[in-house]
Amino acid sequence: MAKWGMVIDLDTCTGCQACTTACAMENNRLPSENWQDVLFYHEGTYPNVKLMWFPRPCMHCENPSCVSVCPTKATYKDPDGGFVLMDYNKCIGCKYCQVACPYGVRFYVDEKAVVQPDIRGVFPSEAGRQWDPPYKGPQDDPSRGIGIQPHGVVSKCTFCYHKVSKAPKGVADLDEDIPELKEYVPACVRVCAPKARFFGDLDQPNSNVNKMIADKRGVRLKDETGNKPQVYYLSGGATASVPSLRSMSDSDKG
């Protein structure tokens, strides 16, 4: 059985946000409610200030705190593939999962549009839905959080379950450069021009993702929470950086 994971090389990431855009298009996100975000922040003191950035999808944790707090089992860990998914049909919108996630990657669609003009005015809702454009995606599956997010539920990144789960069994890495596999590659990985993102099976020792994690000392964000993310970051601190590591090294300097 596969345990899918992502590797993001922070030394290669340019902060272009193509991943954010591709994810939004693939997964019907509302403007500014990004399942795959790139967070920007400043480092240093004026005038010696550096702009830094940090790409952040759902970590699809091995031991996800969002799953254990969900009273309706709407959030669940898929045993085949290691995806953490959302069943929109079971979610009661209590937001426990949103509070429990240490990475802030979950979204509850607000009543007010964050960006104007509000496109929900263009496609008036039906059946109590927050946003109801007059089309259905070919892959729609509300039991896995795929398709238009209905009113009153939490959502998040699916690791492009609708693509990855159709990959041939036993494949170690889903690589854009292998023509017969590229249809199964998550949208954010596929579109990354500097090739800062990689996707593969963490359970296969010879997968490229496992080699990179070992060679470049891949780190998991906020590992102290025990969530065991299936997203690893490679960082030498050149451009983007892992915020938790950065604050540790700052305090080391005194």
Q: Which residues would be at the binding site for ligand SF4 (CB under 6 A)?
A: 58-61, 64-66, 69-70, 72, 74-75, 84, 86, 91-97, 101, 103, 105-106, 154, 156, 227
Amino acid type, 188: C
Give the span between the Cα atoms of 15 and 240, in whole angstroms: 8
- Shortest distance, position 104 Cβ to ligand SF4, whole Å: 8
Q: Which is nearer to ligand SF4, 77 or 216 (by Cβ)? A: 77
Nearer to ligand SF4, 23 or 58 (CB): 58
Distance CA 207, CA 65 (A): 27
Q: How many CB atoms lie within 10 A of CB 62?
A: 17
What type of residue is 37? D
Query: How far apart, in whole angstroms, are the C-alpha atoms of residue 200 and residue 172?
Result: 6
Whether 214 contacts 204, CB under 8 Å? no
Structure tokens at 45: 């003191």
Would strands 173-174 and 197-201 be described as parallel, antiparallel, or unpaired? antiparallel
Contact of 30 with 232, CB cutoff 8 Å: no
Q: DSSP alpha helices (H): ranges in the chain?
A: 18-27, 65-69, 96-100, 161-164, 187-190, 208-215, 243-252
Nearest distance in Å: CB 148, ligand SF4: 17
- Write down the least CB distance from residue 253 to ligand SF4, Å: 30
**Residue 189 CB, nearest approach to ligand SF4 (Å):** 17
**Is 8 in contact with 234 (CB distance < 8 Å)?**
yes
Q: Between 62 and 176, whose beta carbon lies closer to ligand SF4?
A: 62
The residue (of 10 and 61) whose beta carbon lies closer to ligand SF4 is 61
With beta carbons less than 8 A apart as the criterion, state whether 23 and 32 touch.
no
CB of 193 to ligand SF4, least distance (A): 25
Question: Is-contact 35 108, C-beta < 8 A?
Answer: no
CB of residue 31 vs ligand SF4: minimum separation in angstroms?
21
Output the smallest distance, CB 29 to ligand SF4, in A. Answer: 15
Nearer to ligand SF4, 22 or 97 (CB): 97
Nearer to ligand SF4 by C-beta: 154 or 167?
A: 154
Q: Which residue, 57 or 200, is less far from ligand SF4 as judged by CB?
A: 57
Please, what's the largest Cα pairwise distance for the chain?
58
